[in-house]
Each structure stands twice: as C-alpha cells, then as structure tokens.
Amino acid sequence: MTVLRVSPTLLDLNCDNTKSRLHNHKITTSSLEYHEGDPRISSLQYIALTTMAAPSSTAAAPASLSKDVLVDKIQGIAIGNALGDTIGLYTEFLSGTQAQMVYPKASFRLTEPATPLYVDRHRARFEERAWTDDTDQMLLILLSYLHNNGTLTQKDFASRLHTWIAMGLRALDRLPLGIGNTVGMVVTHTDFLSDPAGVSKGRWVNTKCVNAANGAVMRTSIIAPMFINKTLEETYQAAVDIAIVTHADPRCLVSCVAVVGILRALLKGELTSEEMIDGYLDHAWAWTDAYAKEHILKDEDGNELDYKFDREEYDAYCKVSPKKMYNDKKDGMIVDDRRLGYTYIALGSAVWCLRRVMSGKDDFKSVITKLIMMGGDADTNGAVAGALVGGYVGHKAIAPEWRDGLRYNDWLLQKVEAMCILSGVITDKTYIPAEDLDTAPDGNRGFLDEAQVRDREKGLMMMILEKLDTHQKAAKKPKFQNLWGLLDV
C-alpha cells in the first residue's frame, strides 16, 4: 500500500472521475483511503499522488486566511509580477559582469528620484518605471477573464495576443515591445486564430521538440488567484490551456503548473515553510508528466514523439538550495549564458527567490535585486520571481520605493480587485464587466489601422534615436559616478 498524507487543498476531491491507468495501488490520507478507480479522484490526480511525496506530510492542516490577508497576497502576485518585470528591465540581456559595471551600487528606486535606465538601443524603447511584454501578456489573461465574466478561453486569449502583436496593449495604449521568437512565430501563423494550440504544437514538433522558451511561464501567475475557488486540477488545466496557446513543450507546461500550484498553496495558507516547496514541485511534475503523455507527446496518428521529459533536469534547476547563489557556476544554474531564455531558468531562479525569502535570508526587494543583478533575461526572471515572492509576502510588505513608483499601479490594482470579486474572494462588492470598458479587445480606444501602426513605429524610432544621441553626447564628457552609481560607459 502506498501511504500518503495529503491535505484536502491538494487533493481537491470534487473533480471528475476518469479511469486510472495505474494498478495495484492504494492511497491513504488521514482517515481516508483512495485506490485505483476511486470515483473521488481523477486519473491524473491518482498518477500524481502515487509518484510524489505529499507537500503537507509534516504540516498542520492549512489555516484559512482572512479576506484582507488573501486580497493583499493576490495584489502581491500581480504587483510583484509587474515590479519584477520593471526592475528586471534595468539589466535585461546584460551579463552579470556588465550589470555590475553599469549599476555598481546595485540599488534601484522607482519613486522620485527614480533610478534611470541605462541607455542602449534595447532599453531606449521602453517607458521609465513600467513593465515590459511579460506583464503585458499577463494582463491579456486578466482582461480576458474580466471581459468574459470570470471565464478563460484559449480562443479569446489567442485573439487578444494576436491584437497585441499587431498594435500593443490597447487598454493602456502601449506598443508591443519585446516580442519573443516563439510567440512571434506562433501568433503570426495563418491558422493561429482558428487553432492556436494546434499551431503551437505543430511549430514545436517542427523544431524537433527542442524549443522551451520562457514566454508562457512569465504570464501565468495571475491564473492562480482566478481559480482560487476552483479545484486544483481545474487550476492546473487552465494554466496548461493558456500556456499551450504559444508553448507546447512539457517543460513550458510544467513551469506554468508549478507556478500556479505554488501560488495557490500560498493563497490557501497551505505552503508555510521553505521545506514544503519541493512537494509542490513534485506534484506539478507528476501531473504534467501524465498530462503530456496523454495529450502532447503523440503525433496525429497516435505514435509517441521522440522526446524525453527529464525529471533530473527539472530538479536540478528548481531545487537549488537557498544557501547558495543561483548562478553559482559550480553548483547552481547560469542565468546569463546562451540559455538565458530557457523556461527552467525563469522557474528555477524564481523558486530560489521564494526559498530565500521563506527561509528569512531576504525580503522582496533584496532578493529581486540579487536576481536581476545576475543579468540574462532579467525581466522575465524578475516577473516570475516577483509573483511568487509577492504571493508570499503580500503587497503591503513590498518596499514603498518600488511599490508606489510603478507606472499604472492604481489601474492594475483596480483590475485585481475586479478579479477578486469575480473569483469570489471579495463578496461585499459588485463588478459589472460590461461597464469596465477598457477590458474590451480594443481597450475602448479602437483598433489601430496599418497607417496608425506605422506612425507609432516611426515615433518610437525617433524616440530611440533621440535617447541614444543624448546618451552619446553625455558619454563624451568626463566620466563620473552619479547618485545611483550609474557609470557613463
């Protein structure tokens, strides 16, 4: 008999029954016993539960969080995602060595006097104190959920992503800056709107099943609070459904499942210590492994694809001790090498940040600063880490010089409150989607035509050139260190 002690939150016993593919197992949890074919658990849950160490095996029953604490943590997820993305832009695509040279004091501030971005052709495109494409795409999920009265569909998200690629985030009149290769190639396919998941999988298969970029995990965090009152399996499934719109590799899927699973446990008061994190990582792996075998790793004729879903690699990236630095060349993973856009780097470094904070070694600001000073795809790494850590510490615990200086902060908090109403977290307020006009696909601003898009692009190019020209002129002056330690290099 396989004996597991699994919390009720983890089991979610009210999901539909499907026939299990395992045999000769029984699962005992507390005073309840589960066995192959049990009508109270699905096959995917049964597979997961028989292949993991239960996260709650040594913990007391999870305490229900008060509404105020829960809302604060949900705000922490959304604002944390946006802040990690925003701070990450300071060092995105720099090496760790370059980041140290450009920001020798490793200190960042978004309230006045705000730390200026180092000026180069990449950073010159972006607004100061604002997020990038990572959080834009998270907002596409959020706006879709709000507009459709608390439901998520692949087709609506795909349509919004297609619009974003063409003209940006209309609700905030932002251009689509930082489009990833995977997202760009999938979304611009002629069949994308009619079959986004099929196009996504087809592109992945055509690349020999090797592409596992971080473009899905960077946007997934907001799904956890949306599904806080749904089952765990529904939450996992929603994460996979949205991820696979652009990213079909099981490594991308398990990254998203792990993030929403950990966040869900934090919101339910179940995950309370650093030592418990591994159990949720194990559960996410087991569920995704079963799902991938059934739905992803077969061709159109039902033949198995030539692909190895490597558990050891997943553990190597995600189970780095908080006592070590994540980018330690001997024991950790290298954040700023040629694999910088790899989904496991974003997931693993984010989990490492959560471990650091849960074990008392860092707070939100210090751990995100450590992470982004490693360089690499720092805005994406920061977005995922910011969401996880924000979901643990809550919005109020984030340093005010970051939290209060974020551009569009009030707008985002309003949308988060609306989400909390629709998800059932807030029950003493009402939200009417039809009256929230900027959740519409065109953001209540109208769609841009081709000429308008070209004009925007020309304006962006002029802004970039002006910033670069100003920077180059300043660089000719004697070098000095300003208030922020920024060097004219």
User: Which residues belong to the annotated binding site for Mg(2+)?
Assistant: 132-134, 377, 379-380
Sort strands 26-29 and 32-35 into parallel, antiparallel or unpaired.
antiparallel
Q: Is 321 exposed, middle or buried (0-12, 13-18, 19+ CB in 10 A)?
A: middle
DSSP 324-351: S-TT-TTTS--TTSTTTTBHHHHHHHHH
CA torsion angle 448 453 455 457 (round to 10): 140
Helices (H), 338-449: 343-358, 364-372, 378-393, 400-403, 409-422
DSSP 59-109: SPPPPPPPHHHHHHHHHHHHHHHHHHHHHHTTTTT--HHHHHHHSTT----
Q: To 10 degrees, what angle do helices 133-147 and 378-393 make? A: 50
Q: Which residues are annotated as a binding site?
A: 132-134, 377, 379-380
90 in Cβ contact with 378 (< 8 Å): yes
DSSP code, position 174: B
- How far is Cα 89 from Cα 93, in angstroms, rounded to an integer? 9
Tokens coding 29:
């949890």
- How far is Cα 276 from Cα 274, in angstroms, rounded to an integer? 5
* Count of other CB atoms within 10 angstroms of residue 315: 15
Helices (H), 168-302: 181-187, 196-206, 223-226, 232-243, 250-267, 277-295
Cis amide prior to 39 (ω within 30 degrees): no
Tokens coding 438:
């900027």
- How far is Cα 489 from Cα 482, in angstroms, rounded to an integer? 13
SS3 content of the chain, % helix, strand, coil (to 5): 55, 5, 45
Contact partners, residue 227, CB within 8 Å, separation at least 6: 234, 235, 238, 260, 264, 423
DSSP code, position 27: E
- How far is Cα 52 from Cα 464, in angstroms, rounded to an integer? 51
Q: CA 133, 217, 300: angle at the middle one, nearest 5?
A: 110
